A and B are shown apart, each in its own frame.
Chain A
Amino acid sequence: MALNPTTQPGPAGGAAAADTPAVELRHVSLAFDDKVVLRDVSFTLLPGHTKLILGASGSGKSTILKLILGLLRPDAGEVYVGGERVDQMEERDLLRVRGGLGMVFQEGALFDSLTVGENVGFKLYEETHRPLGEIRARVEEVLGFVRLGEFIDRQPSELSGGQRRRVAIARALASKPGILLYDEATTGLDPITAITVDEEIVKLRDLEEVGSIVVTHQLRDAFFVATHEARRAGGRIEVAPADAAKADEAEFIMLKEGLVAFEGNAAELRASTDSYIRTFLS
């Protein structure tokens, strides 16, 4: 694969109006052949907020993200991104809507024939007309944000799993999307590396005001994102436990066999008496 940089100035990706939900699912159902993956799922994500979607493997979590991006279409229900209905959009209109979204795939899904810098700047090089120097500066900025600046000219195969996830976050962030979608961003990572990735998610949410939907089955990481916040203190960025009001802003959704089994904040989740939820949390 080659990069096709162009050199004329152009606009960046868009963002939703303050009162329009960033993402909304209404009574969405989807089945693959005989297997029902999602059943009458509805939720709303407001701009700048966080949604944490929990559930066992195969419960439909990643499918929700693919529906939001328009990579899949539901059998029933409606999907809205920034107030626009995306479940019946043509591919060329979807390409425009995706301008406001960033996705971090499981395993990173980096393009292995391109360097780290080319991966991170891919959307800017390919789909915008910004000067190359400006794009390189942005790439260095976001790689600095995930603390991988010195890897800019390396190949993805030279990176560890955790480093690849962080490059994937940088790639999703480079075009300044209004919403970031994380698909099992920490699955398969050791606890220390997972916390590093969680801190990046928290920093992006609190310092760049990017709304996020975090799909995971790792409780530790979900609760970390819900109960921590990032602050600038004396020229540095620190991630520390959040106060109660901030922690309440993160909403949990638990999926069980395609249905929404729980919706609420971290405290409500911990206090739930549902046997499935208690088993999941134990």
Chain B
Amino acid sequence: MLHFVGNGLKQAVLEVQEYVRLQITVVRAIFSRPFYMRDLIEQLDQIGIGSLTVVTLAGFFTGAVLALQSGITLDQFGARPFVGRLVSASMVKELGPVLTGLMLAGRVGSGIAAELGSMVVTDQINALRALGTDPVRKLVVPRVLAGVIMTPILTIIADTFGIIGGWIIAVFQLRVASSIYWTSVTDGLYLQDVWMGLIKPFVLGFAIVTIGCHVGLRTSGGTQGVGRSTTYAVVAASVAVIAVDLFITQLLVNLLY
């Protein structure tokens, strides 16, 4: 029993060690040559443009349901007109970054783990190294940079569509005047909220993509192994989004407010 627990702990520590080593290698590689610009542009398209639909829909429906639910609660305080600030503050500070992160963990995290995992089991990663190309520079760095650049942009889009979704519910369901809704949206947002809503996605984007790359590159065991890696990447990235969100929020609350 102890032996089993011991092995499990050793394995966990080894995973964390290798993950941190990958992060350090990536950061060093970003600031040195060679730099694969075409791969970065390709990944900006795949991670960014490719995730637009899912992020827009997730943001829109979340904003709408948030307005619906909060409208009912605000009624008890005669505060229905304040639904706008509640939707905007929640979306911008918390729901936008976290939901975008979870959508990307599922879409991007799994895709990266599957792609890199397939390359590992078919010897393509070894072939890359044999041909003189560093797989971290060629495959990981473009994905990490694309994740870090695109996640905040996608979060802003999710926030925007969330607030629009809330507006539709507020106007047509809750019978709040449009002008009152939009005034309330801007009243409820402080600069610190916006900073928080922009800093969080940077960190979450970095975590999601590095986890996907780390898990993908450590795949073993053929096609079954690729399936396991894909699942593991989604689970690990999703848990990381939620856990990192708490720590980042705590840190930013102390720094900004």
Contacts and interface: CB of A to CB of B under 8 A. Distances in A.
A2 B42 contact: yes
A127 interface: yes
Contact of A109 (B34, B37, B122, B132): B122
A95 B130 CA distance: 8
A89 interface: no
B139 to A, nearest CB: 7
Contacts, number: 70
Interface stretch (A49-57, A100-108, A250-258): A100-108
Interface string B21-39: 0000000000000101111
Interface string A117-130: 00000110011000
A3 interface: yes
A126 B129 CA distance: 12
A2 B36 contact: yes
B133 A103 contact: no
A248 B170 CA distance: 88
Given A107-B122, A109-B122, A111-B124, A4 B129 contact: no
A4 B134 contact: no
Contacts of A2: 36, 38-39, 41-42
A107 B123 contact: yes
B191 interface: no
B129 A71 contact: yes
B152 to A, nearest CB: 24
B126 A66 contact: yes
A171 B127 CA distance: 10
Contact of A103 (B39, B122, B130, B134): B130
B131 A123 contact: yes
Interface of B: 34, 36-39, 41-42, 122-124, 126-134, 138-139
20 contacts: A1-B42, A2-B42, A4-B34, A4-B37, A4-B38, A71-B130, A92-B134, A95-B129, A95-B134, A98-B130, A98-B132, A99-B132, A103-B127, A103-B130, A106-B123, A111-B127, A112-B122, A123-B131, A123-B133, A127-B133
